[in-house]
Amino acid sequence: MFNFVRKVTLFQLMNLRKFKADRIFTGKEFLSGSWVLTCTPEGEIVELTEEGFDTENIERLKGTLCPGFINAHCHLELSHMKGVIPKHTGLIPFLMDVVDKRDFPAEHIQEKMNEAVDEMYRDGIVAVGDIGNTANSIATKANGQLVWNNFVEILGFKEDQFDRIRQEYGHVLAQFRETENNLPEGKFKSSLVPHAPYTVGTKIFEWINRETRNLTISCHNQETPAEDELYGTGKGEFLKLLQKFGSKESPFPITGKSSLQSWLPHFNEQQKIILVHNTFTSAEDVDFAIDHAAQSLSGIYFCLCVNANLYIEDQMPPIEMLIDKKAELVLGTDSYSSNDQLSIAAEIRSIRKRLPNVPLEMILRWATYNGAKALDRLNSLGSFEKGKKPGVLLLDENLTARRII
Ligand SMILES: [Zn+2]
């Protein structure tokens, strides 16, 4: 404590803020209302202690104090698509609609991205794992108050276009990295990522593996049963989407295995991998992924975007099975093309409504500590620990979040 206090300025010391509430969620567990959270005016955690004799200047709040939320999966550059795509069409018609309808005037896209960042800030989100196929979101992200893991998402399964793909997405990544160098440390972390097993070919997977040693990456995973069918048999509904891109038959290896068991072994460079959606992932595949991660990765995370799954497929992911398997879960909002809001609090409420037996403490951990771990930001975010600046939220009884700091 003494060593740390010497590092904060006299001004900060005189203006420390102390909070008490009905209870405190630390990032890992609930503490009772007898605990006091002390932080600098800027939100750097000084200590979390039980209330003693010094009760002066404590701000007493109604509700639960909680570290800022981590949105592990979003597509900021699709923020202009709110209400554009009809609900419950299933994944493949959904994807075809996104491809057909995503072009809008650039100013309109910029305006909607700015609004989306403001909305996420108000919801208590402090960090975002954000997918982009372009560099369009750079200025919006650099100016706002959130921190970003920029996932430069590659769509490319035509092996003869490997050089073009590598050049195009390498250029997008270079723009993010260049901006990163001029921003405060940690504001941006940027990496290449595959979009999904049905849009990325073997050569590209292998290239992404080589380029992402020790980094966090993500991949959309098993959002529809057709994905397993594509790898298992080379047939199924995905052929319709592939035809749109000029492929008459599946360009992917027919492995006789699930898609996850077919592509995940391409990665063996100690990445942290966030598998997104997992709506149709089997228990056997979860075992496979956890085993593979233990040998070749530094972590595997299963991201739930429940409101998006309900929007597109009207289907919940197998949350209870994932809990049974002790999978590490994180939460995401996906984009406005498949969600009515970009709110982690709303994702938590949806899970609570459908699975009231899953403890709130567990879900809040997914939304805070686990998300920070997956995005490699545990040094500053995800929990109320001395020296971190994780954001301070107050949750009311309806699980609405309000930012305190
Ligand atoms: Zn997505």
pLDDT above 70 as % of the chain: 98
Distance (Å, whole) CA 110 – CA 136 = 8
Distance (Å, whole) CA 75 – CA 73 = 7
Whether 3 shows a pLDDT value over 80: the answer reads no
Q: How far is the CA of 198 from the centre of ligand 1 (A)?
A: 14
DSSP label of 327: P
Query: Cα–Cα–Cα angle for 353, 148, 352, nearest 5°?
Result: 5
Q: Are strands 299-304 and 272-277 parallel, antiparallel or unpaired?
A: parallel
Cα separation of the two ends of the chain: 22
Tokens coding 174: 């270079």
DSSP label of 260: H
Tokens coding 11: 């001004």
Whether 254 shows a pLDDT value over 70: the answer reads yes
Instruction: Tell me the one-letter amino acid at 129.
Output: G
pLDDT, tens digit, for every residue of 136-181? 999 999 998 999 999 999 999 998 999 999 999 999 999 999 999 9
Q: How far is the CA of 305 from the centre of ligand 1 (A)?
A: 9
Q: How far is the CA of 75 from the centre of ligand 1 (A)?
A: 6
Beta-carbon-side half-sphere exposure of residue 222 (alpha carbons within 13 Å): 28
Distance (Å, whole) CA 313 – CA 92 = 10
pLDDT above 90 as % of the chain: 85
Q: How far is the CA of 393 from the centre of ligand 1 (A)?
A: 26
Q: What is the pLDDT of residue 5?
A: 47
Burial class of residue 249 in the structure, from the number of CB atoms within 10 Å of its CB (0-12 exposed, 13-18 middle, 19+ buried)? exposed
pLDDT, tens digit, for every residue of 237-247? 999 889 888 88
CA torsion 356-359-362-366 (nearest 10°) is 10
Mean pLDDT computed over every residue of the chain: 94
Confidence of residue 2 (pLDDT cuts 50, 70, 90): very low
Are the C-beta atoms of residues 144 and 76 closer than 8 Å to each other?
no
Distance (Å, whole) CA 242 – CA 275 = 22
Distance (Å, whole) CA 347 – CA 339 = 10
Q: What is the pLDDT of residue 96?
A: 86
Confidence of residue 51 (pLDDT cuts 50, 70, 90): confident
Distance (Å, whole) CA 162 – CA 170 = 12
Q: How far is the CA of 16 from the centre of ligand 1 (A)?
A: 40
Q: How far is the CA of 385 from the centre of ligand 1 (A)?
A: 31
